[in-house]
């Protein structure tokens, strides 16, 4: 049973009637429904939002989470640094992370990338075509190439991210812009998938193919390691390869 936590910022939905109408269960609700639609009984989904205590991301919740999905936009700055540090640690320890759309500028994504994660954008009803670049990858299975999104916000290059470990999708927009729209990254023992389609002003999270890709990403990001643990700095004696000693400070001899 894959334990998924869907994190939603839940601000646009509360403040803008058109967003609330488009996403009556919140964007987090639509994202969760799309994962459930594809993974069914293999997945146990919990939804939490910015407004919950600790934004819903307590140590207990994260420990119980195999894969976390992240959608945020207008309130990135309201996310507590302590929570970000906690999520960061869990990713390095092996929790999967799916970062969606405007989550590109979230504290957690920029912290994991080590770059500004800036890009070019325009919300003018561009058509987005999502082209498969790696047809062998688990994340691209079961969707056409291209995925056609009739109306979407444009996100374009230069997208300031590290060169991804795997380039999965590239999107082209009717205005002519392009973006690396599906990218994977490993950090520590954790796997990260960034997927750019999705916006509060367009019904993208109701799109069957987009939902499939997100579900594929969730399945892929789940760690294969038997236990969650932290990468470590240990000293090993000569000919001991398996029993390192804890670090006791940089000046030890």
Number of residues engaging a second copy in binding (CB under 8 A)? 86
Q: Is 138 near a second copy (CB under 8 A)?
A: yes
Distance separating alpha carbons of residues 35 and 238, to the nearest angstrom? 48
Q: How far is the CB of 46 from a second copy (least distance, A)?
A: 23
Residues near 226 by Cβ (< 8 Å), separated by ≥ 6? none
Distance separating alpha carbons of residues 27 and 22, to the nearest angstrom? 9
The β-bridge relationship of strands 2-8 and 67-71 is parallel
Tell me how far CA of residue 9 lies from CA of 69, 93, 106, 150, 171, in angstroms: 11, 24, 11, 25, 25
Site for a second copy in 63-122 (CB under 8 A): 73-76, 92, 94, 102, 105, 111-116, 118-122
Distance separating alpha carbons of residues 173 and 192, to the nearest angstrom? 25
Tell me how far CA of residue 80 lies from CA of 53, 71, 92, in angstroms: 11, 15, 19
Nearer to a second copy, 63 or 123 (CB): 123
Site for a second copy in 154-213 (CB under 8 A): 154, 156-158, 160, 162-163, 165-167, 170-178, 180, 185-191
Nearer to a second copy, 63 or 230 (CB): 230
Nearer to a second copy, 53 or 238 (CB): 238
Q: Is 243 near a second copy (CB under 8 A)?
A: no
Q: Is 42 near a second copy (CB under 8 A)?
A: no
Binding part of the chain for a second copy, among 22-30, 39-47, 55-63, 242-250 by CB under 8 A, reads: 242-250
Among candidate residues 51, 43, 71, the one with its CA nearest the CA of residue 197: 71
Site for a second copy in 45-64 (CB under 8 A): none
Binding part of the chain for a second copy, among 32-40, 43-51, 55-63, 130-138 by CB under 8 A, reads: 130-138
Nearer to a second copy, 185 or 202 (CB): 185
Q: Are 204 and 198 in contact (CB under 8 A)?
A: yes
Q: Is 234 near a second copy (CB under 8 A)?
A: yes
């Amino acid at each position: 049973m894959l334990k998924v936590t869907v994190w939603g910022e839940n601000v646009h939905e509360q403040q803008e009637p058109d967003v609330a109408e488009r996403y009556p269960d919140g964007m987090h609700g639509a994202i969760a429904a799309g994962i459930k639609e594809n993974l069914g009984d293999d997945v146990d989904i919990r939804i939490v939002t910015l407004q919950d205590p600790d934004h819903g991301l307590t140590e207990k919740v994260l420990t119980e989470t195999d894969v976390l999905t992240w959608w945020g936009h207008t309130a990135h700055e309201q996310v507590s640094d302590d929570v970000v540090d906690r999520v960061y640690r869990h990713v390095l320890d092996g929790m999967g992370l799916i970062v969606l759309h405007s989550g590109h500028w979230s504290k957690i994504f920029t912290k994991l990338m080590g770059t500004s994660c800036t890009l070019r954008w325009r919300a003018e009803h561009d058509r987005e075509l999502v082209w498969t670049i790696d047809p062998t990858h688990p994340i691209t299975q079961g969707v056409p190439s291209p995925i056609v999104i009739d109306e979407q916000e444009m996100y374009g290059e230069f997208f300031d991210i590290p060169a991804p470990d795997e380039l999965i999708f590239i999107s082209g927009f009717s205005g002519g812009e392009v973006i690396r729209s599906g990218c994977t990254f490993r950090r520590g023992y954790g796997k990260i998938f960034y997927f750019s389609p999705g916006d509060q002003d367009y019904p993208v999270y109701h799109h069957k193919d987009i939902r499939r890709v997100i579900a594929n990403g969730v399945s892929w990001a789940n760690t294969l390691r038997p236990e969650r643990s932290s990468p470590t700095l240990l000293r090993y004696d000569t000919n001991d390869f398996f029993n390192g000693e804890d670090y006791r400070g940089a000046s030890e001899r």
